[in-house]
Structures are given as C-alpha cells and as structure tokens.
Amino acid sequence: MSDIPLPLPLEDSWSDVLGKAVRGTGIDEKNLAPSANIIPSQLKTIMGGERPSEDTLRRLAIAVGLNPGPFLDLAYGRYKPKAFEASRWPGVAQIPTRYLDMVVNSYLVWDTKTREAALFDTGTDMAPIRHAVEKNNLKLTTLCITHTHADHVAVLDDVMAMYKPKLYAPKGEPVPNATLIEEGAEIRIGPLRTTTLLTDGHSPGHITYVVSGQEGWPAPVGLVGDAIFAGSMGGGAVSYPRLRKNVQGKILVLPAATLLCPGHGPTTTVEEELQHNPFA
C-alpha cells in the first residue's frame, strides 16, 4: 500500500538535536567554543556533522543544556526506539505519508466498540486514510489538528469533503469552520474522552490531544504533533524555551506508560522519553 519502510527511523540525528539546541539557546559559536572547552575550528566541523570524541560531545551537550547521557546514547547508536505494540493499543493506527523529502504522521484513534473514529492531522494523502477507515470499518466523525504547518493539514479539505467530520483546530492557528480550542477542551470520540494541552513553541498555538477511556489501554494516548519526537523535539521556531518547558512540564508528566504519537518518526512512551530524550 505504502512505499514508506516501517518502522519509521528516529526523526533526528545527534547533529539535528545539537543544531536545535544551539539555535534554541541562541549561544553563538564564539561563546560556545570556550564554554565547552573546544577550539573554534573543531566546533565548526562538529556543527557540520562530524562526530567528535564522547568527552568532547559531552562538554558540548552540557554547554547547550542537553541531557548528556541520552544525547551520547543517540550519537553513538545506543538508543533504539521500541517498536509500536499494536496489541497493547487497540484502536490506534499510525498513517505515515510523504511530504517533499520528509515523512509526516497522522493518526486514527477509534472506539473499538462503536467504531467511532477521530483523525489527528491529515498528512498529505487521502488514500491511506480511506484504506484505514475502510479496513477497520470506522465512522470518521472527528478531525483534530495539532498545528497548521503544511505537511500536517495538506489534505484537510479532502477529508472534510469526504467524511464531514467535526473539526477542531488550535485557537492560536485558526482554520475556517473549525471549533477553536485552547488548553483544557473536552472532545468525545464515542465514549473515549479527549482533553487538550497547549504545547506551543514549535508553532504559535500547537495543541496536544490526550485520549483515554479505551478498554485495555495501559495508559492514555497522547497525540503530540511536533512538540516531542522519540529522542528529540520539534524545532523551537516560535519559542525554544516555551516548547521545552511544555515538553517537560506538560507532556512528560503524563502517566509513564502513556503512548506518545508524534508527527514525525516512531511512536514512543513518556517512560522511554524520560530515559532517552536529550530535551527531557
């Protein structure tokens, strides 16, 4: 059906993570080199993606405020994300689609009894959405948008035309005909309860949706968009400190077994990210 190889690899390399931290903290290379005790010419090659010794990388991580243990595990290939266990999470499906040279995820979450379903973001292609809806015999009644970056809403109009779902979008990133939401909204997917968190920083109004109430789930399911990724987080284009604070103070305080469903890369859990995320 899809030519995208699964499971998805980690979204960010150590070099991507370092770049996000350097840009986010706003430290310029002139100040970073001495504070990490690195000569400026070596810093240039590291920022260009050449991996230095573990000691050097540790000093650099500390200088830009990354958790050094998880960062070094990522850099030296010691962190392997756990595979998604579909049998533990009935009624959850990841739908990866291509956007330019990237892969973006949308997710279907449904009540396994009534088959009522919500789509979280649209990705870029209707075909796998229709396939998943039909294969699982679902009624798609709800569309929730985490943020309005083009890759996440590329087929929004087509989804609306085909299924006529109730549409929810962030108040900080309004979409025509949507119910606009902030933190603490309540959305129902049949008997499943969904609450919302404002996780801005990657984008101005970014919303995380937290779904609970499915029989058999060990914990809630967090649809986190581009707030947090397995082993990384979204870019802090609007505010790196706000994004990191939201990741730490709102997402990583959810129950440890909470499934996190990011807009890019593989699914993960709160517990895994507390151990392995350099931004945690």
Query: Identity (one letter) of the amino acid at 119?
Result: L
Q: Applying CB under 5 A, does 12 fall inside the site for Fe ion?
A: no
Nearer to Fe ion, 142 or 199 (CB): 199
Task: Write down the least CB distance from residue 124 to Fe ion, Å.
Answer: 13
The reply on whether position 20 binds Fe ion by CB under 5 A is no
Q: How many CA atoms lie within 13 A of 101 on its CB side?
A: 0
Q: Of the two residues 116 and 226, which places its CB atom closer to Fe ion in the complex?
A: 226
Which of residues 70 and 234 has its CB atom nearest to Fe ion in the complex? 234
Query: How many positions of this chain bind Fe ion (CB under 5 A)?
Result: 2
Nearer Cβ to Fe ion, position 63 or 230? 230
Minimum CB distance to Fe ion, residue 84 (Å): 21
- Interface segment toward Fe ion; rule CB under 5 A; list 85-93, 181-189, 220-228, 271-279: 220-228
Report the alpha-carbon angle 77-268-163, nearest 5.
135
Within the chain, how many helices (H) and strands (E) appear? 9, 14
206 near Fe ion, rule: CB under 5 A: no
The CA-CA-CA angle for residues 207, 233, 99, to 5°, reads 80
Residue nearest to Fe ion (CB): 149
Calpha distance 74→203 (Å, rounded): 25
What is d(CA 53, CA 9) in angstroms, rounded to the nearest whole number? Answer: 24
Q: Smallest gap, in angstroms, from Cβ of residue 148 to Fe ion?
A: 9
Residue 247: C-alpha distances to residues 22, 68, 165, 193, 275 (Å): 18, 17, 29, 22, 14
For the chain, the straight-line distance linking the first and the last C-alpha, in angstroms and rounded, comes to 36
Distance CA 202, CA 239 (A): 7
- The answer to whether residue 200 forms part of the interface with Fe ion (CB under 5 A) is no
149 vs 250 by CB, closer to Fe ion = 149
| 206 neighbors 127 (Cβ within 8 angstroms) | no
Residue 264 belongs to what H/E stretch?
none
Indicate which single residue of 20, 149, 264, 276 sits in contact with Fe ion (rule: CB under 5 A): 149
Q: How far is the CB of 132 from Fe ion (least distance, A)?
A: 22
Work out how close the CB of 147 gets to Fe ion at its nearest, in angstroms, rounded to a whole number: 6
- By CB under 5 A, which span of 51-59, 75-83, 88-96, 141-149 interacts with Fe ion? 141-149
Closer to Fe ion by Cβ: residue 81 or 225: 225
Options 125, 226, 272, 273; binder of Fe ion; rule CB under 5 A: 226
Residues of the shown chain interacting with Fe ion in the complex, contacts defined by CB under 5 A:
149, 226
